[in-house]
Amino acid sequence: MVVGKITELTPRLAKTYAGISAKTLQRDVAAVEEMELVERKPEGVRARRELILAFLPWRRTTVEPKAGA
């Protein structure tokens, strides 16, 4: 993902960065890069999903049977 296209990712990001300067966007990307949540590659910026997902709560993947069933 090219940094200049970050506002095209989700409506929430588009709303957040509407009217914000490119300098602010670059600063914010640099901040999350410093937290190692994204990494820069020749083709753009990549979210490090493996790290981001580690911070999210676990989701139950199976449905537990009801008591007495």
Residue 69 located in a structural domain = no
Residue 40 one-letter amino acid: R
Residue 68 located in a structural domain = no
Helix residue ranges per DSSP H, 8-69? 11-17, 22-34, 49-54
- Domain of 44 in residue numbering reads as 3-54
Indicate whether this model's pTM tops 0.85: no
Residue 60 located in a structural domain = no
What is the number of structural domains in the chain?
1
CB 44 within 8 A of CB 3: yes
pLDDT digits (tens, 9 = 90+) for 11-55: 888 888 888 888 988 899 899 999 998 888 888 888 898 888 888
